[in-house]
Structure formats: structure tokens, C-alpha cells
A and B are shown apart, each in its own frame.
Chain A
Amino acid sequence: AQSVTQPDIHITVSEGASLELRCNYSYGATPYLFWYVQSPGQGLQLLLKYFSGDTLVQGIKGFEAEFKRSQSSFNLRKPSVHWSDAAEYFCAVGPGGYNKLIFGAGTRLAVHP
């Protein structure tokens, strides 16, 4: 069955510290992978996506993610967190094209000044 696991429900980091949010997936075919961010009371905004090619992908707001097929992982990273990064982050997997995406349960990030 297709699934996405985000092991960390809540993460708290200090402003300026590095960040890594974990995402593991179970998918039978070549996965298309996404990270979305949701600020309080808002919809979901795409941070980055991986379809093929270079396994390290760059996104908006200084985020990057690395696809590791052997570990079925697609972890999100940022070298220095800003207070405005406090939000909920969702990892998603799905096939290409118009097919539906499967989402993880999300990781809520808090940033301490």
C-alpha cells in the first residue's frame, strides 16, 4: 500500500539552527515526491518537488530535500531556520500526471528566538 510517514509530529528549533524534517514513503513505482508548507490558517504551498534526475533538489525559502531511494526517504533540510519558518510541513508522494497524492500526517515546526 502507498503511504507516507513523517516520524516527528512536533519539532522545536532555535532561530539560526539547522533543520531536518524526516519523510519516509512506501510506494510501488517510481515516486514523485513533494514537500508542502502550511502557515496557520492558510492553504498548502509547494516548497519543492522531485521527479527525476539530481537527487538533491532546491526549493523556495532556502529549503532543500534529498531523495534516497535505498532508504525510501525524502528528508527536508534548511541550514539556518528563520522565525517565519514556523509552520506545518507535509510530505507527499504520488505518481506523475493528474493522479492523486498521498500525504503524511505533517510535522509542526516551532522556532524559538
Chain B
Amino acid sequence: IAGITQAPTSQILAAGRRMTLRCTQDMRHNAMYWYRQDLGLGLRLIHYSNTAGTTGKGEVPDGYSVSRANTDDFPLTLASAVPSQTSVYFCASRGDGLNTEAFFGQGTRLTVV
């Protein structure tokens, strides 16, 4: 089934550790995004990529990095996790056509302790 796969589904991480959240899509979408979801704040954009080889900063990029080596994969890395990065992380992609919506993965629930 075509879509977006995120891994892991959930993770408990010690503060100061490095962590990479994985995201893979098979829809050949050029644009991909990472959002974090926090209660009362909705979804906030962390980083995005409009095409392979390019990335950009979203609303809350500090403490996160991304790479886009190919069309399908868009990993999000926390270099040194802090408790404020406890959140649910969603990866999304969007097609090139003008009238397209974003498709979302199932999310990664990350707890930093």
C-alpha cells in the first residue's frame, strides 16, 4: 500500500542522546515535511524539503537537522535530545500538482527523559 512509513513508532530516549527518526514514502513526492504535535499548539513545522538535495527550516528548527539524499527518505535527527523535544512527530509529503494535499505518516511518539 502506497504511503508514508515512520519508524520507530515510539521511543523513550535519555537526554543528551542522539536519535534519528526515519521517514520513507513511496509516492514519489518531491516535497516532504517534519511536524511536531504538542497539546494546544497543533502541528508546527520543523523542517521541510521541496526536492531531493534541498532542505529548509520551518517554524521550530532548533535542535533538529534533516537530510534529503533521495526522493524517498527524509530522516530527522536530534543531535542531543532535551526533554522539551518530547512530542509526537509526523512526517508528511505532498505532490507537485497545484491541487494536492499533504499525506501523513502514523507518527513517532518520542519521550525524552
Contacts and interface: CB of A to CB of B under 8 A. Distances in A.
A105 B38 CA distance: 9
A103 interface: yes
B107 A43 contact: yes
B101 A34 contact: yes
Instruction: Provide the main secondary structure of the chain B interface.
Output: loop
A97 B96 contact: yes
A34 B94 CA distance: 13
Contacts, number: 66
B50 interface: yes
A101 interface: yes
Interface in A28-47: 32, 34, 36, 42-46
A36 B43 CA distance: 11
A90 interface: yes
B101 A43 contact: no
A6 B42 CA distance: 10
A35 B20 CA distance: 30
A100 B45 contact: yes
13 contacts: A32-B99, A34-B101, A42-B107, A43-B107, A46-B103, A90-B42, A98-B29, A99-B50, A100-B48, A100-B58, A102-B45, A104-B42, A105-B41
Interface of B: 29-31, 33, 35, 40-45, 48, 50-51, 58, 90, 92, 94-107
The 5 A-B residue pairs with the shortest CB-CB distance in the complex, in nearest-first order: A98-B31, A105-B42, A96-B98, A103-B43, A43-B104
